[in-house]
A and B are shown apart, each in its own frame.
Chain A
């Protein structure tokens, strides 16, 4: 079965600093999804990447997909306290057949003012 490994597991950064979170798959990635979760809340969709080399940005968050490395990275520029939370990557388990997402264990981000 496919597994996703995220690194680091937790991260504490000073406000204004840049940071990167990685998500590596044990199998070929057909699609990669990034979500953010705040404690006690549901997941908020951030971005979806489907093609090798694809890069998407939303405000100060950029995500890239490297199909050859079976990896995606999430980069936050000039972090703010509002960026704090748990970031989860999810991947399609079956190509184009709908259904479940497999998730990584999450990366907990804290931003110190």
Chain B
């Protein structure tokens, strides 16, 4: 596709359930980033992939959060045992190269934990 795509666009889940969020980066982009945007916290970095490896996981808020990337393309962010404070918009971005910081963002997944 022409841009970064994310699915689902909206997700409502019950507290304690696991969720998976998907990101499809721009074809050929080697770097992929996950951010979280919530009221009062702004836009927070979660994790970054270069190819299939994650050199920087420093933003993952707890061990309930994990992410993987396969084939240097699609990435999945998994949140286990969701909590209400996990409610936020999860944004994915990709860039041609980590040294080229022009990151292109997807539309985000709005997660609501009830």
Contact = CB atoms under 8 A, between A and B. Distances in A.
Q: Answer whether A and B are interacting partners.
A: yes
A57 to B, nearest CB: 17
A48 B42 contact: no
A45 B98 contact: no
Contacts, number: 62
A42 B31 contact: no
A43 interface: yes
Interface string B5-38: 0000000000000000000000000010101000
Residue of A31, A92, A103, A106 contacting most chain B CB atoms (<10 Å): A103
Q: Please tell me the size bucket of the interface on A.
A: 20 to 34
A94 B114 CA distance: 37
Q: Please tell me the size bucket of the interface on B.
A: 20 to 34
A100 B45 contact: yes
A41 interface: yes
Contact of B33 (A97, A100, A102, A105): A100
Interface in A62-113: 88, 90, 92-93, 96-106
Interface of A: 31, 33, 35, 40-45, 48, 88, 90, 92-93, 96-106
Interface of B: 4, 31, 33, 35, 42-45, 48, 50, 55-56, 58-59, 91, 93, 97-99, 101-108, 110
